[in-house]
Structure 1
Amino acid sequence: MHYVIIGGVAAGMSAAMEIVRTDESAEITVLERGTDYSYGQCGLPYVVNGVVPSLDDVVARSVKTFREKYHMDARVNTEVTNIDVQDQKVKGIDTETKETIEVPYDRLLIASGSDPIVPDWEGVQLKGIHTLKTLRDTEGMMNDLTDNVKRVTIVGGGYVGLEMAESFKTLGKNVTLIQRGQQVAKIFDKDMAELIHEEAKKNDIELILGESVEAFLGKDRVEAVKTDKRSHETDFVLLAIGVQPNTSILKDTGIHMNEQGAIHVNAYMKTSIKNIYSAGDCATQYHIVKQLDDHIPLGTTANKQGRIAGANMAGNPLSFKGIVGTSIVKFFDLTLGRTGLSEREAKQLNLPYSIQTTKANSHAGYYPGGETLHIKLLYHTKTSELLGGQIIGKKDVDKRIDVLATALYNKMTIHQLLDLDLAYAPPYNGVWDPTQQMARKV
């Protein structure tokens, strides 16, 4: 059996390793357009500011390892141009030699990931304007962050924008963040986002809200960002306005995709075309709370979907159970965690919902060192089933978000939180966990 995988990062190499474990006689060809395999993209902001010492530290396995230890035909600098679904062949080009390639497959995995969104703004090709997605992006950015760079502008207030705002500030740069909407981190509700705004201002991050970028000004290198209201002088720009599935090569294949270009897959990671699978940032994910296909590209999901795709391709039937939309990020002294639905999403789905909010101590009030947790829970007004949770604080956000994520996965009601046997000792919790305290009020 000849397996071909497009994409050599999270989903692609998780699938490849699962195929190796499942099918001892597998022939595996991986086509990667970049130069690097199997690295942790989520660690890149921490390489930029030196918290993680080297780019090598975020690489799980090298290209050489896949070739020599696992005997894969692991190619680099290979740009796929189209897929012949009738004859089951992948076609492309070696971007170094410019030679065309053609690789037949018995089973194909599309794990091509996503690309940073770069609008066609005037001046976007000027030097000093960067995106952050790959090891080479990170290397180029770090090389460009010389002592001459005093003012850094970030366009976009999502997770990458927030993480990089902290990273640049750690390096001693003056940081401006421009967000088109009226809040950063729009996956949080506005009342919770205010806490993020306060933390940004506390750390001297200049937030520019409600302005839309129109162009970049400069002769050879960027000198200013022009918005619909004014211009902001800068020495360096990071575009962090989101990502889009890297699926443009599929437009003539008949593979079903959603409006954003993410490939529709079933629970076994199969696409609408026989013998073609997909996983990771370029594929959809079933959302358990929404009960529909969604697209929330995260490294955790990519690795899970990749493993399941590889198992199914090699004949071991496994199913992907879905996501609940859990994510977490560090922003200076705060941890921002969320899972399930926000108010905006609940409204879009026309779900009747109720809200509980509270400020609680991270552990027993009489034990020193506690920090305030700001917690917001959404639950179905009629059934009391949990719909979502958002928690922001300095300490122990992660363990509460993981409890809520588990509760959402199991479709628990807010009342059933009271039945959970959660760990308690004064240095770690109160006798009633803050989430349980909220449940008692309903």
Structure 2
Amino acid sequence: MKVVIIGGDAAGMSAAMEIVRNNPDAQIVVLEQGEVYSYGQCGLPYVINGKVPHTDDLIARDVEEFREKYGIDARIFHKVTAIDTKLKKVSGIDVNSGESFEFLYDKLLIATGAAPTIPRVENADIQGIHTVKTIPQMEALMRELPQVKHVTVVGGGYIGLEVAETVRERGLAVRIIQRGKQLMTALDPKLAQIVLEEAQRNGIDVLLNESLLGFKGETHVEAVRTATGIYETDLVIMATGVRPNTQFAAGFAKLENGALIVNEQMETSIEDVYAAGDCATQYHRIKQQVDYLPLGSTANKQGRIAGLNIAGFEQKYQGIVGTSILKFFDLHIGMTGLNNAEADQLHALVETYEMEVNDIAGYYPNVRPMNIRMLVEQQSRQLLGMQAVGKNGVDKRIDVFATALYNDMTFEDLLHLDLAYAPPFSGVWDAIMQMPKRYGKK
């Protein structure tokens, strides 16, 4: 069996390794546009502040290991430009030599990830404007950072906050420019306010409701221009979202943003073609529909399922509940399930519960507050979502609630959970078990 995998990072190589383990006779060719295989993209921001000493530390397995130890024909600088699904042929160019290539396949996996989106604004191509999705992009940023004093981050989501924090920890002045009315648009407003105050407490200048128009500077960026003003800066990091790398994949069923629609086996709409990772959709268990929430953990799991199915072992991807977490200075910001806006889109009749609780036993030293917000379906009492912001213990509560969501638990079921208790870790009633004030219909 000839297997071609397009993309050599999380989803692609998770799939490749499952095929190697379960179908050793398969001939595997991996076509990677860049030169780096199997690295931890989510760790890139921490290279900026030195918590990850070097980008090489993010590489799990290099291309030579895949070739020599596992017998995978791992190519670099191979950019795929077209797929002929009738002839079962992949074609493209070597980005170094310019030479064309073609590979036939029996099974094909598209694992091309997603690329940062850059708004179409004035002077977006001048020097000093960076994105941080790949190791070469981070290395380019790191070469320039020692010469700058002020950095502007465009975008106040996950990546925007992470790079704002790590740049600030280098001692540089930082400004965040956000198009919306709050940081972290996925958070409900009261919790987003806590995040804003944390940014300001750490000396970050935050500009909300700002529409980006372009950049000023002849060859290198000197200022950011918005609808309301011009803001001088030495360097810009763009964190305005990502878009699936699927432009070359014609004839497939896709979401509006280009994500390839897949089923439980990670199969696309075309026979013998699979997709996984940031270029593909995920089934959302709470929404009960396909969604797009690109995360590294999801990419690895989807790649594993795709690889097992390609190898001949039928496996189903069970979907997501929308779980994520973020560190921002002293805050931990976690969420799982639906937020208010998503509940509205589903026309769900919900009750909202909000509470400020202690992260550990109230009498134990260093107790700290945690703000929690829950959404519960009004009639069935089904759990719908939770968000939490605090300085400690957020990860535990979010993971417990995510597990409860996965298992279709109700609000009252939380009281029956047998959770770990000792004063340094929790109150006798855990934070998510304390009956909060009822706010009624949202």
- TM score, norm. by length of structure 2: 0.98
| Corresponding position of 1:248 | 247
User: For residue 69 of structure 2, what is the aligned residue in structure 1?
Assistant: 69
- Identity across the alignment (%): 53
Whether 2:363 is the aligned partner of 1:366: answer yes
What is the Cα-based RMSD across aligned positions, in Å?
1.0
Structure 1 distance, partners of 2:395, 2:197, is 21
Residue identity matched to 2:325: I
Hey, what's the Cα distance between the residues in 2 that align with 1:413 and 1:322? 19
Report the CA distance between 1:439 and its aligned residue: 6.4
1:258 equivalent in structure 2: 255
Which residue, out of 260, 274, 278, partners 1:277? 274
Q: Distance in 2 between matches of 1:212 and 1:63?
A: 42
Q: CA deviation at 1:438?
A: 2.9
Residue 154 (str. 1) matches residue 139 (str. 2): no
What is the match of residue 115 of structure 2?
A: 115
Q: What SS does structure 2 have at the residue aligned with 1:400?
A: helix
Alpha-carbon displacement from aligned partner over 1:277-301 (angstroms, at most 9, x marks no partner)? 0000000000000000000000000
1:415–1:440 Cα contact (<8 Å) kept: no
Equivalent position of 2:58 in the other structure: 58
In 2, the alpha carbon distance for the partners of 1:47 and 1:26 equals: 37
Can you list the C-alpha shifts for 1:215-242, whole angstroms capped at 9, x where unaligned? 1000110000000111000000000000
Q: Decide whether the 8 Å contact of 1:154 with 1:239 is kept in 2.
A: yes
- The alpha-carbon deviation at position 26 of structure 1 amounts to 1.2
Count, aligned residues? 439
Partner of 2:323: 326
> 1:192-234 CA distances to partner (integer Å, 9 max, x unpaired)?
1000000000001100000111010001100000001110000
In the alignment, structure 2 segments of 5+ residues that lack a partner are: none
Contact 1:354/1:379 (<8 A) preserved = yes
Identify the range of structure 1 (183-192 vs 299-308) with the bigger mean alpha-carbon deviation. Answer: 183-192
Residue 358 of structure 2 corresponds to residue 338 of structure 1: no
> In structure 2, how many angstroms separate the alpha carbons of the residues matched to 1:184 and 1:362?
24
Give the counterpart letter for 2:435 in structure 1: M
Stretches of structure 1 lacking an aligned partner (at least 5 in a row)? none
Q: State the alpha-carbon separation in 2 of the partners of residues 264 and 194 from structure 1.
A: 35
> Is the contact made by 1:418 and 1:439 (CA closer than 8 Å) also made in structure 2?
no
Cα offset, 1:348, TM superposition: 1.1
Match of 1:204 in 2: 203
Structure 2: how far apart are the matches of 1:310 and 1:2? 13
Match of 2:311 in 1: 314
1:189 corresponding residue in structure 2: 188
Within 5 Å, which residues of 2 pair with 1:169-180? Answer: 169-180=168-179
- Aligned partner of residue 282 in structure 1, secondary structure: coil
SS in 1 for 2:325: strand
Equivalent residue, structure 2, for 1:10: 10
Counterparts of residues 361-400 of structure 1 (less than 5 Å): 361-400=358-397
Residues 368-416 of structure 1 deviation map (CA, whole Å, 9 limit, x = unaligned): 1111010000010111100000000000110000000000001100100
Cα deviation for residue 354 of structure 1 reads 0.7
User: Residue 305 of structure 1 corresponds to which residue in structure 2?
Assistant: 302
Equivalent position of 1:143 in the other structure: 143
Partner of 1:100: 100
Counterpart-to-counterpart distance in 1, 2:221 and 2:422: 54
Say whether the 8 Å CA contact 2:351–2:438 is kept in structure 1.
no
* Corresponding residue SS for 1:74: strand
TM-score, structure 1 as length reference: 0.98
8 Å CA contact 1:4, 1:107 repeated in 2: yes
The CA deviation at 1:243 is: 0.2
